[in-house]
C-alpha cells in the first residue's frame, strides 16, 4: 500500500512556479511552469474527443518525436486554445519557444497545456509575461502555487505525493497536480494532470501511465461531457539516483497518485454536494460492467435523485437496462451503502432483487442518501465482470456555473 499525501513539499530535481500574468480577471494565479534539472522520459494520455486543442496536438507530436528529453511543461488557465486553427498551433509553439528562451532548454523539450474557454486565441502578450515571471520564480517548493494557477472553476487546488525507496535503496518522490471540476466524463475529462518523479524506471512509461489512467482518470464522471484539452503527463528524470524495477512500488505509486487526483476532481465537481461510488459486479465481462457503471454515472435522473436525497432506485435500474448490455432484471440486485464501500455487501441496504423492490424502509434509505458520501452496488448475476466508477450529484449550482461560464 502506497501512502499518498494531499500535499507536495518538493521533488528534488524539479522546480515549479505559479504566477499571475493577467489571464484571469480577478488577479488570481493563472500560469504555471514546471522545469526539470535534467531531461525526462515522458508519456502522455489525451482526450479521445476528435476535436482536439492545439496544445494536445503539439504535445502528441512532440512526445512521439522526443519522449526521452522533455525538460519543461507550461500550463495556462483562462483560454483553452481550442478550435483556433493554425494560429492556435503557432501560439502553442511560440509559448514553448519562449519557455526555452527563458530557461535555457531546447524548444522541442517543452510541452504545453491550456484550459479555459474554447474558441479564443491566446493573448500572447500575457503568455509571454507569464513565461517571464514563472521562469524567474522557479523553486522547489512552489507546488501549491502551480496547482492554483491551473484552476478554472475548481474551488481548491489538487495535489498528491508519495515518498518511496527504490529497489537500489535510494529514496525518491512521486508528485502530481491536476485541475478539473466540470466537463468530466470517462475516457479523459476536462482535466489537466501532471505527475513527476525523480526516479528512473527502466521500462517504457507510456503503458504504465495508460494503465494508471484506466484506473483513475478514466473512471470519473461529473457531467458526462468530454473536453477538447484533456491531458495527463508523466515525467521521470532520475535525479534522485533511484532506479526502480517493473515489480517495485513505482507503478503502484503512479496509480495511487493518479487516483488521488482523480477522486479530488469528483469531490470538487461543479456544484457537487455528494461523492458517489458506483460498483457494478456480475457483468458478462469488465467492459460490460464499465458500460453499465458509466451509464448510471452519467444519468441526469440518477444524479439529481442523489442531489435530492431521494432513493429512487428505479432510475439506477433503468439506466442499467438502457446501457446496451443485455441485463436480466430478474437477476439484478441493488444495494445502497453509507460512505465509500467497494467490497462486499455487509452494511448495505438491499433495495431491489428478483425483479422487484425489497421490503426496505424508505426512512433508512433516505438517511443514507443524505450523507455526503454514498455508494451503490449493482450485481448483474451474469458473469465475473466488475468495474468501479466515481461520480457526484447534479445540483442547481452546476447549472448556474455553466450557464454564464464565459461572462
Considering only CA atoms, which of 226, 223, 137, 213 is closest in space to residue 178? Answer: 213
Can you give the pLDDT at residue 184? 47
Residues contacting 361, CB < 8 A, separation 6+: none
- For the residues 312-328, what does the mean pLDDT come to? 94
Pairing of β 192-197 and β 231-236: parallel
Is residue 192 within 8 Å of 179, Cβ to Cβ? yes
Give the tens place of pLDDT for each residue, 182-208: 544 555 445 789 999 999 988 889 999
Question: Residue 181: which pLDDT band, with cuts at 50, 70 and 90?
Answer: low
**pLDDT over 70 (residue 56):** yes
Residues contacting 365, CB < 8 A, separation 6+: 311, 336, 349, 351
Question: Residue 271: which pLDDT band, with cuts at 50, 70 and 90?
Answer: low
User: Which residue did the predictor score with more confidence, 354 or 268?
Assistant: 354
**How many CB atoms within 10 Å of residue 140?**
14
**pLDDT over 70 (residue 398):** no
Can you give the pLDDT at residue 190? 52
Per-domain residue ranges of the chain: 14-267, 275-403
Q: How many CA atoms lie within 13 A of 209 on its CB side?
A: 23
Reported pTM: 0.90
Considering only CA atoms, which of 186, 199, 189 is closest in space to residue 388? Answer: 186
**pLDDT over 70 (residue 48):** yes
What's the topology of domain 275-403?
A: Ubiquitin-like (UB roll) (3.10.20)
Catalytic residue of the set 47, 103, 190, 231: 190
Estimate to the nearest angstrom the gap between the alpha carbon of 87 and the chain centroid.
28
Consecutive H or E run containing 391: strand 385-392
**Residue 40 backbone dihedrals phi, psi, to 5 degrees:** -110, 145
Is residue 329 within 8 Å of 321, Cβ to Cβ? yes
Can you give the pLDDT at residue 197? 96
174-194 in b/e form (b: 16+ CB < 10 A) is bbbbbbbbbbbbbebbbbbbb
Give the tens place of pLDDT for each residue, 355-368: 999 999 999 999 99
**pLDDT over 80 (residue 222):** no
- For the residues 128-148, what does the mean pLDDT come to? 97
Catalytic residue flag (residue 231) = no
Give the tens place of pLDDT for each residue, 22-31: 999 889 999 9
Rg (CA), the chain: 22
> Percent of the chain, pLDDT > 70?
93
Q: Which CATH number fits domain 14-267: 3.40.30.10, 3.40.50.1580, 3.60.70.12, 3.20.20.70?
A: 3.60.70.12
Question: Residue 226: which pLDDT band, with cuts at 50, 70 and 90?
Answer: low
Angle at 113 between CA 174 and CA 99, to 5 degrees: 90
> Percent of the chain, pLDDT > 90?
73
Estimate to the nearest angstrom the gap between the alpha carbon of 388 and the chain centroid.
15
Residue 89, C-alpha cell as written in the block: 498551433
CA distance 218 to 191: 11
Pairing of β 110-114 and β 349-353: unpaired
Question: Residue 230: which pLDDT band, with cuts at 50, 70 and 90?
Answer: confident
Question: Residue 16: which pLDDT band, with cuts at 50, 70 and 90?
Answer: very high
Residue 338, C-alpha cell as written in the block: 453509507
Amino acid at each position: 500500500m502506497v501512502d499518498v499525501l494531499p500535499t507536495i513539499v518538493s521533488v528534488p530535481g524539479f522546480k515549479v512556479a505559479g504566477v499571475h500574468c493577467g489571464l484571469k480577471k480577478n488577479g488570481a494565479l493563472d500560469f504555471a511552469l514546471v522545469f526539470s534539472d535534467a531531461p525526462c522520459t515522458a508519456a502522455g494520455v489525451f482526450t479521445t474527443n476528435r476535436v482536439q486543442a492545439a496544445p494536445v496536438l503539439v504535445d502528441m507530436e512532440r512526445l512521439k518525436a522526443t519522449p526521452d528529453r522533455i525538460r519543461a511543461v507550461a500550463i495556462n488557465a483562462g483560454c483553452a486554445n481550442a478550435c483556433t486553427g493554425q494560429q492556435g498551433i503557432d501560439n502553442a509553439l511560440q509559448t514553448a519557444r519562449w519557455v526555452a528562451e527563458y530557461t535555457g532548454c531546447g524548444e522541442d523539450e517543452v510541452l504545453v497545456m491550456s484550459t479555459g474557454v474554447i474558441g479564443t486565441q491566446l493573448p500572447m502578450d500575457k503568455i509571454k509575461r507569464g513565461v517571464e515571471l514563472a521562469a524567474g520564480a522557479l523553486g522547489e517548493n512552489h507546488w501549491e502555487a502551480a496547482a492554483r494557477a491551473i484552476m478554472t472553476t475548481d474551488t481548491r487546488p489538487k495535489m498528491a505525493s508519495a515518498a518511496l525507496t527504490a529497489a537500489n535503496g535510494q529514496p525518491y518522490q512521486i508528485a502530481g497536480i491536476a485541475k478539473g471540476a466540470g466537463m468530466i466524463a470517462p475516457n479523459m475529462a476536462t482535466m489537466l494532470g501532471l505527475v513527476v518523479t525523480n526516479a528512473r524506471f527502466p521500462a517504457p512509461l507510456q503503458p504504465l501511465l495508460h494503465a494508471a489512467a484506466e484506473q483513475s482518470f478514466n473512471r470519473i464522471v461529473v457531467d458526462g461531457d468530454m473536453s477538447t484539452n484533456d491531458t495527463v503527463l508523466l515525467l521521470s528524470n532520475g535525479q534522485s539516483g533511484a532506479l526502480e524495477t517493473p515489480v517495485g512500488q513505482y507503478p503502484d505509486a503512479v496509480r495511487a497518485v493518479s487516483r488521488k487526483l482523480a477522486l479530488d476532481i469528483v469531490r470538487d465537481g461543479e456544484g457537487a454536494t455528494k461523492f458517489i461510488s458506483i460498483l457494478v459486479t456480475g457483468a458478462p465481462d469488465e467492459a460490460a460492467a464499465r458500460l453499465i457503471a458509466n451509464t448510471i454515472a452519467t444519468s441526469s435522473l440518477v444524479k439529481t435523485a442523489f442531489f435530492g436525497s431521494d432513493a429512487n432506485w428505479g432510475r439506477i435500474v433503468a439506466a442499467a437496462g438502457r446501457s446496451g448490455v443485455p441485463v436480466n432484471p430478474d437477476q439484478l440486485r441493488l444495494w445502497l451503502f453509507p460512505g465509500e464501500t467497494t467490497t462486499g455487501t455487509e452494511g448495505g441496504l438491499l433495495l431491489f432483487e428478483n425483479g422487484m423492490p425489497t421490503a426496505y424502509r424508505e426512512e433508512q434509505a433516505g438517511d443514507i442518501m443524505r450523507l455526503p458520501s454514498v455508494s451503490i452496488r449493482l450485481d448483474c448475476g451474469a458473469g465475473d465482470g466488475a468495474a468501479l466508477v466515481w461520480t457526484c450529484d447534479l445540483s442547481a449550482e452546476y447549472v448556474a456555473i455553466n450557464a454564464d461560464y464565459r461572462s
